[in-house]
Structure 1
Amino acid sequence: MKKSLLLLAALCYLLVACNSNSPEAEADQPQDAAVELEALAYTLYTSKSELFVEFKPLVVGTESRFAAHFTALGDLFKAIGKGTVKLSLVGEGASQSITATEPEVPGIFRLRMTPEKAGNYKLVFDIQTPIYTDQIIIENVKVYPDEKTAIAQQPEASGGGNDITYLKEQAWKVEFANAPAQIELFSEVIRTGGQILAAPGDEAVVTTQISGVVSFTGKNFLPGSSIPAGMSLFTVKSNEVVQSNLGAEVTKAETDLATTKKNFERASELIKDKIISEREFLEAQLRYENAQTQLKAVSVSRNFNQNRQRISTPMGGFLKNILVENGQFVNAGQPLATISKNKKLLLRADVSQRYFSKLAAITAANFKTTDSEQVFNTGQLNGKVLSFGKTAVANSPFVPFTFEMDNVGNFIPGSVVEVFLQAASQPALVVPVTALLEEQGVFYVYVQTEGESFQKREVKIGAADGLRVQILSGIAEGERVVTKGAYQIKLSTASGTLPAHGHEH
């Protein structure tokens, strides 16, 4: 009898155990214990700052921990190393706040807050740094009455897909920046080569009017030296060896003038009585006029005497080059030096003939020198279109297109440049050219989807003007693309390692 009772008890136990493990029994078990609140993440921008903050859904009476990452925007995005952050929970007639007086580490502020009342709120971050103040607001933040309600209303986690993780701690250590893809007026671009030239009238060539031996009148004459107007540069002294002595030429010209003048006056009297012919009179008049012209041609400034000429600068500027040596023999009319004001320059672009029909529509240009990546715009340099060729340059298939502009960039005349001629403008989706990376002829950019999440996107590009490039497909307006530091993200994906960090989840 006892064995029968024991056997019956064992069968009952097994039956209860099996029933408790059945799917129906599992369905009756509470699920909340196995579900945790997932952290929320927000990324917001102002003109000064970027905020990336993580925290779990807010529950009344439960302490919430905020890991707020603040980045100062500019040419480069850098962590805010000094400052205070005040976090306020505001809404429905209630508010509370907490302040972090300094970052835990540069860029990361830790804040803790225990919500007191359920409802809809907004989170207000007020940041004050030694340089600026800013405010960032997260709208429609819900405070739940209890954790069970928060879990019940928690949205399903979305998969990250092909997102690449690149932490703020990584970005702050390198040259990093991003910018939204924007639709802007974008000009049709003709990309070509060119050269920077000195503007006409902005240079003067100093020459000698007599032949002789040249001497420098100043000391330390070097190319690049500042030269005031009227400054004495050279003295040319002739001697008995010089065959074409200008002093002798002046004397001869004066003698010729006196002789031809007498002959012309005599011929004027004779023609009245028709003693000479009209032809003879006209010949005498012509010889007299030629003698006057010859004397003017050989006359020099008041600084000239028959054996010496002192040569001064015709204008102020700088000494571009010296074309003779001290003590060298020079001939009359020979250039001695070049003086340049260097205030105006010409930008000459050599354009292929196939673009000739579009040249009339060109209004501006971007350009950069071969030794620098800095891009200049003719409009910013007070530039204007000077002319464009109606025919090709001799022995060249190119048509010259010329701008005049101010020399405010310390350009050197003669420099070779890359030119982006800009024609008619129309709206286009553009990003900075620095955002582009290329692999085997395929272009792509990194799009920042969240504070520390990025996607590698292949893009189809159009024209580029040296600063911006047109995007035909691959990204949408408003998406933020990495403009500096894209290569570092590429390297981080290859290494597969991430630095340790302390985000609150």
Structure 2
Amino acid sequence: MTEKVSFRAAPAGGGPEFSGEAAPRRSGIYTISPAFATAGEWRIALDVSVEDGAQTIVMEGLDVQSPGGERDHGHEEGPANTISFTKEQQWVVPVVTVPADRGPVVERHRLAAWVVPTPDTQNMAAAPLGGVLRTEGMSSFPRIGDAVEAGQPLAWVDTAAMSAESLARDANTQGRQSLTVDLDTRAAEAAGEADRARALVAQHERALKRAADLLDARAGSQRDVDAARSALDEARAMLRAAERVAESVRAARSGVGAPAPPAPPETRPVVSVPITGRVTQVHAGPGTLVDAGAPVLTITGAGTVLVEAHAPESLIPALANPPSGMLELPGEGGVLRAVVPAAGAPEPWMAPKVDPETRTAPLFFHLDNAEGRLAVGMSLSVWADGRGVEDAVRIPVSAVVDENGIATVYVMLEGESFQKRNVRLGVRDGVMVEVLDGVAAGERVVSQGAYLVRLASVAGSGLGSAHVH
């Protein structure tokens, strides 16, 4: 808070100095009323004392006029539509002006985008075999938020413990035993069928011999011999079939055998970190029974991220290819950040296809994220580059006020005088916009506080009290 403002005045060419104190008009606003003895060039020093120190402000070369040559300091007739907005008002409500300049403007189109997960940005450390996780002989097991390095060992798997694999082996053993019993039963049945067929063959062989002997003794007929031979052939066919069944059952039984021993696992199979990053989820810890392939940790590494944007098919011909542009992060409306491709990553590209449902084409940007501003899953905006103008009159986008659909800016004519102008705009890049008509290069426009100047124009004589001369 200002405590005291005083002044010291002296002719620029030398002479007696006089001083006085400034009178406070209101909080923070002081007025000095020096009575100059002679006309000419004067020097004034303002001494400002505040709570945390003092400061001297020197004003050189003040032109003091004699009473007869005093200039008219009344309100001069200014240009049409002049708006009065005093310095006192500008101090209370910040008003920032910038000059319209000339330079390149690249048209940018705002596209919805996301930081999508990839195996390089989000991955899981998994158990190579089933068993119990052990950490004996290793460093402490990571927790959520801990930084880990690719290849870092986390734990080893004790495969001797009961696991899903051993349970599966037991189930296979039980199934094998049941199959063995079934095959043994079928083998016994097949052997019995073969024995019965052999007995029947022997019986028909004896019958054929008897019929043949009777025929030789002229006590039998050829018909009896043929019938006995036919019955023997049928019995032999039954025997061959029974023997084939018995042989196939024996082969199946010998193929079952004893269960094969499990393959010996590698010595202390290790769970390792797949990517460099931080632990974002713990699925299993030391002492946990896990199956082969079960997740242990989820690691998110955001050093390099993939941003995917979607461009409507109507914009595809207007966009630069390969794509380029700027990023606008959530909560940073109007602040555009450069797209920084990651070293060694593929260059930005636009997929040569349009989604049949959304009618958009995806654009991909592999970006460096050393500052960690981009998080996996984040939604953001990509301002994709389109056509450009090399030499344009340009002003900040924030300087443009939409008044009933008409683009308007406020130009500073003097320190306290502004003028409202309708402008015709061209290419815009999200920060700067091309002015085709209405503002010339070098003219100062209100880039911050334009709406307050607009309110002053509506009020007529400005907001607050008028300037006192």
Q: Indicate the TM-score class for this superposition, using the shorter chain for normalisation.
A: 0.5 to 0.7
Name the structure 2 match of 1:406: 369
Q: Of 154, 177, 192, which residue of structure 2 is paired with 1:232? A: 154
- Shift of residue 400 of structure 1? 1.5
Name the structure 2 match of 1:427: 391
Q: Is the 8 A contact 2:124 2:298 kept in 1?
A: yes
Name the structure 1 match of 2:127: 208
- Shift of residue 493 of structure 1? 4.8
1:318 aligns with 2:278: yes
Name the structure 1 match of 2:438: 474
Q: What secondary structure sits across from 1:333 in the alignment? A: coil
1:194 aligns with 2:113: yes
1:442 aligns with 2:406: yes
1:458 aligns with 2:458: no
In the alignment, the residues of structure 1 paired with residue 286 and residue 112 of structure 2 have an alpha-carbon distance, to the nearest angstrom, of: 39
Name the structure 2 match of 1:290: none
1:298-335 Cα offsets, whole Å, 9 max, x none, are 9977532xxxxx63434553223456899998653354
The one-letter code of the counterpart of 1:419 is V
Q: Of 409, 433, 449, which residue of structure 2 is paired with 1:485? A: 449
| Residue correspondence of structure 1 range 90-239 to structure 2 within 5 A | 91=12, 98=19, 105-119=26-40, 121=41, 142-145=63-66, 147-150=67-70, 157-159=76-78, 161-197=80-116, 201-211=120-130, 221-222=143-144, 225-229=145-149, 230=152, 232=154, 239=162
In the alignment, the residues of structure 2 paired with residue 299 and residue 359 of structure 1 have an alpha-carbon distance, to the nearest angstrom, of: 58
- Shift of residue 445 of structure 1? 2.0
In the alignment, the residues of structure 2 paired with residue 84 and residue 385 of structure 1 have an alpha-carbon distance, to the nearest angstrom, of: 63
Name the structure 1 match of 2:165: 242
The one-letter code of the counterpart of 2:306 is L
- Shift of residue 210 of structure 1? 2.4
Structure 2, gaps ≥5 residues long: 170-262
In the alignment, the residues of structure 2 paired with residue 392 and residue 478 of structure 1 have an alpha-carbon distance, to the nearest angstrom, of: 45
Q: Is the 8 A contact 2:97 2:444 kept in 1?
A: yes
Structure 1, gaps ≥5 residues long: 1-79, 247-297, 305-309
1:391 aligns with 2:352: yes
**Percent identity of equivalent pairs:** 21
In the alignment, the residues of structure 2 paired with residue 390 and residue 211 of structure 1 have an alpha-carbon distance, to the nearest angstrom, of: 41
In the alignment, the residues of structure 2 paired with residue 391 and residue 373 of structure 1 have an alpha-carbon distance, to the nearest angstrom, of: 30
In the alignment, the residues of structure 1 paired with residue 265 and residue 9 of structure 2 have an alpha-carbon distance, to the nearest angstrom, of: 86
In the alignment, the residues of structure 2 paired with residue 340 and residue 419 of structure 1 have an alpha-carbon distance, to the nearest angstrom, of: 23
Q: What secondary structure sits across from 2:441 in the alignment? A: coil
- Shift of residue 455 of structure 1? 2.3
Cα distance change, pair 182–463 in 1 and its aligned pair in 2 (3 A):
same
- Shift of residue 104 of structure 1? 5.6
- Shift of residue 467 of structure 1? 2.2
In the alignment, the residues of structure 2 paired with residue 142 and residue 118 of structure 1 have an alpha-carbon distance, to the nearest angstrom, of: 8
In the alignment, the residues of structure 2 paired with residue 92 and residue 311 of structure 1 have an alpha-carbon distance, to the nearest angstrom, of: 87
In the alignment, the residues of structure 2 paired with residue 343 and residue 132 of structure 1 have an alpha-carbon distance, to the nearest angstrom, of: 49
In the alignment, the residues of structure 1 paired with residue 283 and residue 20 of structure 2 have an alpha-carbon distance, to the nearest angstrom, of: 72
- Shift of residue 474 of structure 1? 1.8
In the alignment, the residues of structure 2 paired with residue 404 and residue 82 of structure 1 have an alpha-carbon distance, to the nearest angstrom, of: 53
Q: Is the 8 A contact 1:83 1:103 kept in 2?
A: no
Q: Which has the higher contact order (CA 8 A, sep 6+)?
A: 2
In the alignment, the residues of structure 2 paired with residue 359 and residue 486 of structure 1 have an alpha-carbon distance, to the nearest angstrom, of: 33
Name the structure 1 match of 2:320: 359
Q: Is the 8 A contact 2:42 2:64 kept in 1?
A: no
In the alignment, the residues of structure 2 paired with residue 97 and residue 403 of structure 1 have an alpha-carbon distance, to the nearest angstrom, of: 69
Q: What secondary structure sits across from 1:398 in the alignment? A: strand
Q: What secondary structure sits across from 2:320 in the alignment? A: helix
In the alignment, the residues of structure 1 paired with residue 353 and residue 330 of structure 2 have an alpha-carbon distance, to the nearest angstrom, of: 25
Number of positions where the alignment pairs a residue of Structure 1 with one of Structure 2: 366
- Shift of residue 457 of structure 1? 2.0
Cα distance change, pair 101–157 in 1 and its aligned pair in 2 (3 A):
closer
In the alignment, the residues of structure 1 paired with residue 73 and residue 454 of structure 2 have an alpha-carbon distance, to the nearest angstrom, of: 34
Q: Is the 8 A contact 2:121 2:376 kept in 1?
A: no
Q: What TM-score do you get using the length of structure 1 for normalisation?
A: 0.56
Cα distance change, pair 425–471 in 1 and its aligned pair in 2 (3 A):
closer
In the alignment, the residues of structure 1 paired with residue 354 and residue 286 of structure 2 have an alpha-carbon distance, to the nearest angstrom, of: 38
Structure with the largest fraction of strand: 1
- Shift of residue 106 of structure 1? 4.8
In the alignment, the residues of structure 2 paired with residue 133 and residue 381 of structure 1 have an alpha-carbon distance, to the nearest angstrom, of: 48
The one-letter code of the counterpart of 2:379 is V
Q: Is the 8 A contact 2:425 2:437 kept in 1?
A: yes
Q: Which has the larger radius of gyration?
A: 2
Name the structure 1 match of 2:212: none
In the alignment, the residues of structure 1 paired with residue 391 and residue 46 of structure 2 have an alpha-carbon distance, to the nearest angstrom, of: 37
Q: Is the 8 A contact 1:168 1:452 kept in 2?
A: yes
Q: Is the 8 A contact 1:369 1:417 kept in 2?
A: yes
Name the structure 1 match of 2:328: 368
Cα distance change, pair 142–301 in 1 and its aligned pair in 2 (3 A):
farther
- Shift of residue 126 of structure 1? 6.5
C-alpha root-mean-square deviation of aligned residues, in Å? 5.0
Cα distance change, pair 401–127 in 1 and its aligned pair in 2 (3 A):
farther
1:303 aligns with 2:268: yes
In the alignment, the residues of structure 1 paired with residue 8 and residue 167 of structure 2 have an alpha-carbon distance, to the nearest angstrom, of: 92
